[in-house]
């Protein structure tokens, strides 16, 4: 990999050696199980160096199991995630990417790959790394600053009337996000999976998803999507399943159960860690993608197929003949969402239900 950044531009202080401190850590199959795997944010005070992930390039099949699965490629919001380590190269923390998709009825649905724990090493001398991670997907609403979505507010009030006196985890904030489990591919009981050197293999990667000229190095991850974690409240769990259906409708089944999500993390050159800045950065992005859905370096890209064509959703209503081929895609997604929401509301009784249904139908 060519990179124009000169060696003398890398900050002093690199010592190295941790990657070779145990023969089991070596490629081709790094074994990191001798290391503890603490909470991802527990050891910020030990961080000394970092590499930022300026280009988090994701990929997944939009029609899993079909002869032509229509693989998609999308860069999440840039420069949110980074890997932090010591001068010897021991990894203690990884901040992962976020992205937002727009729902015509519900507003912005945020998705974050949230790290639960990590362990591993970085070697600046040869630009390699190896780490183990545990992650969950988080989905939550993020309305524009100062605005309230009347449909979400109405459904929330309607559910509250059924759940008075309980702690109601409506996914209107990241703290109450829908949690999607992940695991190592083909191993549902193994929540830990590797971050490995190099790009993903097993499928072609388009040029627009590569950053070989700009990046310092690259690593790759691969997880299989598991079920969402139940809240214990049947009405809330039903609502969360509905939201996942709507999210997958707009994202091309990115978090469809059993689907495989891969991403290449393209790093910028090493920098020194300002521990206070790291903590502020981590706290900010743990709360939300931002009040107005911003990111440090602007938004990510739209989802595209290998040839660069923008992703087009597959609509069940179109297949059932309820909508005409060639209709506006935004309108088609809106009608699909409307149908799913109305079906959900049909099973709930309470004051305000008819008002919510009327708002949806008149949008």
| pLDDT the model gives residue 5 | 46
- DSSP character at residue 266: E
How far apart CA 240 and CA 209 sit, in angstroms, is 32
Residue whose token pair is 């309108």: 331
How far apart CA 66 and CA 185 sit, in angstroms, is 19
Domain ranges, residue 156: 7-362
Q: Could you tell me the end-to-end alpha-carbon distance of the chain, in angstroms, rounded to an integer? A: 51
| pLDDT the model gives residue 297 | 52
| pLDDT the model gives residue 6 | 40
How much is the pTM? 0.85
Residue whose token pair is 């005070």: 45
Per-residue pLDDT of the chain (363 residues; tens, 9 = 90+): 444 444 458 999 999 999 999 999 999 999 999 999 988 888 889 999 999 999 999 999 999 999 999 999 999 888 778 999 999 999 999 887 777 777 778 877 888 778 889 999 999 999 999 999 998 888 887 766 666 778 888 887 877 777 666 667 888 777 788 999 999 999 999 999 999 999 999 899 999 999 999 999 999 999 999 999 998 888 889 889 998 988 888 888 999 999 999 999 999 999 999 988 877 776 666 555 544 445 555 567 889 999 999 987 765 544 555 555 555 566 777 888 888 888 888 888 777 788 888 888 776
How far apart CA 21 and CA 15 sit, in angstroms, is 13
Give the start-end residues of each E strand in the chain. 49-61, 71-75, 82-85, 90-95, 98-103, 107-123, 128-141, 178-183, 192-197, 217-228, 260-267, 271-272
Q: Within a domain: residue 2?
A: no
List C-alpha distances in Å: 81 to 95, 248, 254. Answer: 4, 23, 19
| pLDDT the model gives residue 1 | 44
- Shortest CA distance to 87 belongs to which of 134, 18, 39? 18
Q: Within a domain: residue 117?
A: yes
Give yes or no for a contact between 120 and 11, defined as CB atoms under 8 angstroms apart. Answer: no
| pLDDT the model gives residue 217 | 96
Residue whose token pair is 């499928």: 203
Give the start-end residues of each E strand in 149-259. 178-183, 192-197, 217-228
| pLDDT the model gives residue 328 | 59
Burial of 114 (0-12, 13-18, 19+ CB in 10 A): buried
- Reported as type and span, the H/E element at residue 79 is none
Give yes or no for a contact between 80 and 295, defined as CB atoms under 8 angstroms apart. Answer: yes
| pLDDT the model gives residue 9 | 82
| pLDDT the model gives residue 144 | 60
Give yes or no for a contact between 134 and 37, defined as CB atoms under 8 angstroms apart. Answer: yes
Question: What is the number of domains present in the chain?
Answer: 1
């Amino acid at each position: 990999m060519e990179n124009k950044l000169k060696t003398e531009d890398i900050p002093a202080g690199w010592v190295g050696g941790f990657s070779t401190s145990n023969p089991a850590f070596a490629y081709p199959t790094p074994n990191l199980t001798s290391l503890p795997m603490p909470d991802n944010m527990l050891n910020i005070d030990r961080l000394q160096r970092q590499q930022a992930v300026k280009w988090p390039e994701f990929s997944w099949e939009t029609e899993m199991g079909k002869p032509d699965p229509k693989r998609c490629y999308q860069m999440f919001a840039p420069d949110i995630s980074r890997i932090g380590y010591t001068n010897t190269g021991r990894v203690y923390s990884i901040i992962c990417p976020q992205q937002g998709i727009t729902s015509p009825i519900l507003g912005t649905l945020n998705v974050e790959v949230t790290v639960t724990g990590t362990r591993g090493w970085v070697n600046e001398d040869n630009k390699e790394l190896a780490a183990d991670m545990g992650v969950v997907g988080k989905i939550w609403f993020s309305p524009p600053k100062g605005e309230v979505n009347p449909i979400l507010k109405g459904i929330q009030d309607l559910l509250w009337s059924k759940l008075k006196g309980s702690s109601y985890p409506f996914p209107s904030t990241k703290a109450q996000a829908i949690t999607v489990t992940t695991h190592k591919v083909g191993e549902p009981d193994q929540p830990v999976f590797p971050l490995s050197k190099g790009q993903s293999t097993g499928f072609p990667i388009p040029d627009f998803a590569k950053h070989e000229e700009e990046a310092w190095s690259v690593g790759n991850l691969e997880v299989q999507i598991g079920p969402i974690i139940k809240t214990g409240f049947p009405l809330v769990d039903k609502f969360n399943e509905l939201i996942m259906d709507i999210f997958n409708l707009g994202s091309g089944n990115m978090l469809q159960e059993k689907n495989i999500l891969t991403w290449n993390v393209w790093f910028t050159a090493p920098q020194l860690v300002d521990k206070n800045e790291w903590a502020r950065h981590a706290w900010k992005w743990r709360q939300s993608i931002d009040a107005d859905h911003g990111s440090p370096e602007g938004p990510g890209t739209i989802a595209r197929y290998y040839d660069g064509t923008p992703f087009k959703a597959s609509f069940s209503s179109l297949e059932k003949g309820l909508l005409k081929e060639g209709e506006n895609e935004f309108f088609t997604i809106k009608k699909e969402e409307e149908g799913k929401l109305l079906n959900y509301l049909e099973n709930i009784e309470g004051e305000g239900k008819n008002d919510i249904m009327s708002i949806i139908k008149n949008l």
